Structure 1
Amino acid sequence: MSKTDEATDGNVALDEPISQVGIAGSRVDHVYNRVKEDIFDFRLLPGDRFTESQVADRLKVSRTPVREALYRLEREGYVFVHFRNGWSVRPFDFVMFENLYELRSVLETAAVRKICDLADISRLDELQSIWLGPEAERETEAMRAAELDEAFHTTIVDAAENPEIARVHNDVIERIRIIRRLDFTQGYRVERTYEEHAKILQALLRRRADTACSLLKAHIEESRAEVRKITIHRLQAARQS
């Protein structure tokens, strides 16, 4: 398909160009992350059509890294390639994300039970200054709070000292990272996260596995429900704009 033919399809809402990157792999990652962010920020809506040339032109890269990034997104279920007719965003798959949240809960509660059986749980010490510290020192910026939240959960899994659980958990976290950040667009959710993390951590430090697991499951479920609600709201708003 020629560049001229491709330019007739759809619209892409990608905004700023990618700076020149030294290696092709980095360019693929940049394109992948930008398109994925556009999907989850609802600049690209389910069903929107676009072409490789349009993405390449906007991001100031060749079509090769664009194609590789899009096939990566296709394997993950975010986009669909049309034979000789560009690409489109797949319908939003709430079932997939809810399955990933369920898997995350299974992995993290398994990690909690392993931690409570370990002789040394000093790897949890680094979490105390953040989540059990003074209220005045709490992070309020949404993106930074999201990063701290992810670090809390990955630290717990890593502390279980099972690299296979950690490997699968990292894959799940990667796949839900962009949608998870929506949880911190509401101010009260940041405050709630501090409160819930503190209770989970206190139960872990006291080796109360059942309590920690119960708290953790409730925490993940509340996050999942909040993200779903925000996603539906933003999707509806984007369609009406």
Structure 2
Amino acid sequence: MLLRDNLYETIRDEILTCRLMPGEEVREQELASRYEVSRQPVREALLRLERERLIIVNPRQGYQVNPISVSDARDLFRFRLALEPACAAEAIENAPDDVLQALDAFRAFD
């Protein structure tokens, strides 16, 4: 995997886990220093993240982690409400017996 791809994955992970917070300013030089790389792969990774709308480019100012709006949070919550029950049902259908027994014991604990 190329350096810029590794860097892209790392920065993306920092955004998605809020180690880089929504609205936070991001500077090429700071990231280059943190990861001990030149600014070019940082710039390429940030531009790729901009295409995914995770980063906003502010001309002559730098970059910013895209803020999350209330509407975005609401949409994400609705998506999770729709998806998670199906995922849980699928997991239970395919779970081994020992896992199901542990879940029953956990449920009985409540």
TM-score relative to the length of structure 2 = 0.65
**5+ residue gaps in structure 2?**
84-89
Deviations 1:56-84 (A, max 9, x none): 11111111111111011101111111111
For 1:85, the aligned partner's letter is Q
The residue aligned with 1:29 is 5
The residue aligned with 2:25 is 49
Which aligned pairs between 1:1-241 and structure 2 lie closer than 5 A? 26-92=2-68, 94=72, 98=76, 101=79, 131-136=94-99
The residue aligned with 1:168 is none
The residue aligned with 2:86 is none
For 2:5, the aligned partner's letter is D
For 1:131, the aligned partner's letter is N
Deviations 1:110-156 (A, max 9, x none): xxxxxxxxxxxxxxxxx99x924222499xxxxxxxxxxxxxxxxxx
Give the match's secondary structure for 1:31.
helix
Give the match's secondary structure for 2:2.
helix
Between Structure 1 and Structure 2, how many residues are aligned? 95
For 1:61, the aligned partner's letter is V
- CA separation of 1:53 and 1:45: change in aligned 2, threshold 3 A: same
Paired with 2:44 and 2:31, the residues of 1 have a C-alpha distance of 12
Superposition CA RMSD, Å: 3.6
- CA separation of 1:96 and 1:70: change in aligned 2, threshold 3 A: farther
Higher helix share: 1
Paired with 1:26 and 1:97, the residues of 2 have a C-alpha distance of 34
Higher strand share: 2
Following TM superposition, where does structure 1 have runs of at least 4 consecutive aligned residues deviating by more than 3 angstroms? 95-98
Paired with 2:42 and 2:48, the residues of 1 have a C-alpha distance of 10
- CA separation of 1:58 and 1:137: change in aligned 2, threshold 3 A: farther
Q: Percent identity among equivalent residues?
A: 32
Give the match's secondary structure for 1:73.
helix
For 1:134, the aligned partner's letter is D
- CA separation of 1:137 and 1:95: change in aligned 2, threshold 3 A: closer
TM-score relative to the length of structure 1 = 0.32
